Structure 1
Amino acid sequence: MKRHLITFCAAIAAATGIGLGSGVLARNPQFQGADPHAMFVNGELWVFPTGGPGGSWAADRFGAFSSRDLKTWKSRGELIRRDQIGWIKDDGAPEHFLWAPGVATRNGKWFLYYSVGPQNPTPSRIGVAVADRPEGPYRDSGVPLVTGGNGFEAIDPMVFVDPSSGKAYLYAGGSAGATLRVWELKPDMIHIAREVKVATPPQFTEGSFMHKRGKLYYLSYSHGVFNGPSYSVHYATAPSPTGPWTYRGAILTGDAHHQGPGHHSFVQTPSGQWLIVYHRWERGPGAGPYQGERQIAIDRIRYTADGRILPIHMSDGNASPTLPVRSHQSSGSGRSGGSPHAQSPGA
């Protein structure tokens, strides 16, 4: 979701003590940021948020953070900067910002999908960059992957590779148009093969995420205004990654101590536990627009026997989930709803 964060890492250091390059203890909220894409890489949780390293961040780069225990976080440095994207000024707009990254991996390569905004005076766009390692450096593909317009805002990319078919799907869209669109990607992960016509599910605003558990596909997404009390996470299920959707309702909403939870990722731990990684405002109920910065948080997911997701309870401090630290992590690629070579998320 395309909103500014001010002095990203300076605020991280002030709020949580997380330093660049050194691990410091943290619990919910984990650190300042927004729009987190999360995935497991060799037993370690990586979070790719809007924002990145630098003392005066101005929506001009992406960074990443990782943790083996969900208590101690390590900065993974700079992934890509705005000035390394050669096409970014081709639309002639006076300013550009980088928002809402999504990450996938396939055939030993890593792919960073990202939004370039704002939507006005020219349409927003989605780009993709490629790296040999999750921490980069990422090299832009050279052209936009998707360009908005005609009522469609090209934001919030998420890539899911169906473990059943091996096909890669790009999900994007929202905000002003509140429209979901889906494309099948070519095997190289940087070109569109075709658009797949899908319905926009009820209560959809932005920030879609796809994961599979058993035989069910789960499309989850943000609803409402990002800086107000309506922002929340809803979901729908389907027999395929492109629908048809059965709307299931809201699963993450504001409470007495936190507001506006949303723009999230589902991720499965090496032991099989499902988690949600999302951003929220650390404040009680009240009308927006909220001021300040959003915080990254992680909470547990519980499913019913018939596959429904139970309402998610936001936690703080020692009530937050942690991971056991293993002495020998197995090698392999990421594990999340958006990683093509992830271990099977059907547990």
Structure 2
Amino acid sequence: MRYRLLLAATLALATAAGARNPVFQGADPQAIFVGKDLWIFPTGGPGGSWSADRFGAFSSSDLDTWRPRGVLIRRDDIPWIKDDGAPEHFLWAPGVATANGKYYLYYSVGPQIPTPSRIGVAVADRPEGPYRDSGKPLVTGELVRDGKGFEAIDPMVFVDARSGKRYLYAGGSAGATLRVWELAPDMVSILREVPVETPPQFTEGAFMHERAGTYYLSYSHGRWNGLDYSVHYATAPSPIGPWRYRGAILTSDARHQGPGHHSFVRAPDGQWLIVYHRWEQPAGTAPLKGERQVAIDRVSYAPDGTIRPIRMTDGAAAPRLGGRR
């Protein structure tokens, strides 16, 4: 999500045992497993106070108790951030990938106006950092005018186990354009841009995962604070398409609104999970107000490989790890 739409958010950690969906306040959660622990990297700083000048992380071994992992990187640690001459800058929508025995943190840097947004990358030896910026933007966007152009936002990196290639997916919001690049083995430089089509209903927040030889491109549709914000997906025989649009799988219901900007993860016990943000409020009128909440729910696949509609849960109905459900 773009920086200016997030300044009112507050991130509060759920540290007490027995916490249930939603797990904590936050937005744009990127999730990965590190061993048996689920790590979530959201927009915002750690420790219960919102900040657009840093990233933090949180981990859990059971999805009940969440541990803050401190500051990963601060805005002041990015040497090129002021090179565009804009009067202020913000960080949002982190994406994390692992390769070469290291962790790579990709992130959006705004504003989009008066200068184009950019995507940076930083490297660490551990998931909690500290992360060291690579020294230059990885991708620079284009100013969007009359609904055309490209915003360099919402980065996600997928390392294809079958080919060994590493792909960066990014883009969305105004212009609603998806672009993909193949990264070099160092994960901090680009080999080439890969031509891809933007799939139907794409707005932002692309995510790629693979299961049983099928590649799933999922993404957010609609306005970030609207009732139509939702998760849609397409499938393909490769990480770069061609896409076959499959429809919406996560949409507003009577108790939760605007679910989106998500990650898919496979737990050590084999269950698939989706980590996303939503508003905890009944159906009403937009724009939605209040704080977005991070939630985790189960993903179920039909025999033909399609994803069944995802049911948002609360309380004890939420998934658990370590033999608990």
Under a length normalisation based on structure 2, what TM-score does the superposition of the two structures give? Answer: 0.95
Q: Give the structure 2 partner of residue 307 of structure 1.
A: 305
RMSD of aligned Cα (Å): 1.3
| Cα separation, 1, equivalents of 2:96 and 2:159 | 12
1:310 maps to a residue whose letter is R
| Cα separation, 1, equivalents of 2:9 and 2:170 | 27
Q: Deviations over 1:245-272 (max 9, x none)?
A: 0000000000000000000000000011
Deviant stretches of 4+, over 2 Å: 5-9, 54-58
- Does the residue aligned with 1:170 lie in a helix, a strand or coil? strand
1:120 is aligned to 2:101: no
Aligned partner (choices 7, 10, 16) of residue 8 of structure 1: 10
- Matched-pair contact (CA < 8 Å) for 1:6–1:58: no
Structure-2 change in CA distance of 1:169 and 1:231 (3 Å) = same
Residue 48 of structure 1 and its aligned partner are, at CA, apart by 0.3
1:240 is aligned to 2:238: yes
- Name stretches of at least 5 consecutive residues in structure 2 with no aligned partner: 144-148
Q: Give the structure 2 partner of residue 186 of structure 1.
A: 184
Comparing both chains, which one has the higher relative contact order based on Cα–Cα distances under 8 Å and sequence gaps of 6 or more?
Answer: 1
- Does the residue aligned with 2:66 lie in a helix, a strand or coil? strand
1:33 is aligned to 2:33: no
Q: Deviations over 1:2-23 (max 9, x none)?
A: 23144734xx15xx4x3xxxx5
Q: Give the structure 2 partner of residue 257 of structure 1.
A: 255
Aligned partner (choices 68, 73, 82) of residue 66 of structure 2: 73
Q: Give the structure 1 partner of residue 146 of structure 2.
A: none
- Does the residue aligned with 1:240 lie in a helix, a strand or coil? coil
- Matched-pair contact (CA < 8 Å) for 1:262–1:280: yes
Q: Give the structure 1 partner of residue 94 of structure 2.
A: 101
| Cα separation, 2, equivalents of 1:31 and 1:236 | 29
- Does the residue aligned with 2:286 lie in a helix, a strand or coil? coil
- Matched-pair contact (CA < 8 Å) for 1:6–1:56: no
Residue correspondences, number = 317
Q: Deviations over 1:116-172 (max 9, x none)?
A: 012111000000000010000000000000000051000000000111000000000
- Does the residue aligned with 1:83 lie in a helix, a strand or coil? helix
- Name stretches of at least 5 consecutive residues in structure 1 with no aligned partner: 327-347
| Cα separation, 1, equivalents of 2:180 and 2:206 | 10
1:117 maps to a residue whose letter is G
Residue 58 of structure 1 and its aligned partner are, at CA, apart by 2.7
- Matched-pair contact (CA < 8 Å) for 2:138–2:190: yes
1:200 is aligned to 2:202: no
Give aligned-pair identity as a percent: 74
- Matched-pair contact (CA < 8 Å) for 1:211–1:217: yes
- Does the residue aligned with 1:80 lie in a helix, a strand or coil? strand
Structure-2 change in CA distance of 1:198 and 1:234 (3 Å) = same
- Matched-pair contact (CA < 8 Å) for 2:182–2:191: yes
Q: Deviations over 1:263-291 (max 9, x none)?
A: 00000000111000000000111221111
Q: Deviations over 1:17-51 (max 9, x none)?
A: x3xxxx54311000000000001001100000001
- Matched-pair contact (CA < 8 Å) for 2:123–2:134: yes
Aligned partner (choices 267, 270, 273) of residue 272 of structure 1: 270
1:206 maps to a residue whose letter is E
- Matched-pair contact (CA < 8 Å) for 1:114–1:128: yes
| Cα separation, 1, equivalents of 2:50 and 2:307 | 36
Residue 302 of structure 1 and its aligned partner are, at CA, apart by 0.4
1:156 maps to a residue whose letter is D
- Matched-pair contact (CA < 8 Å) for 2:9–2:291: no
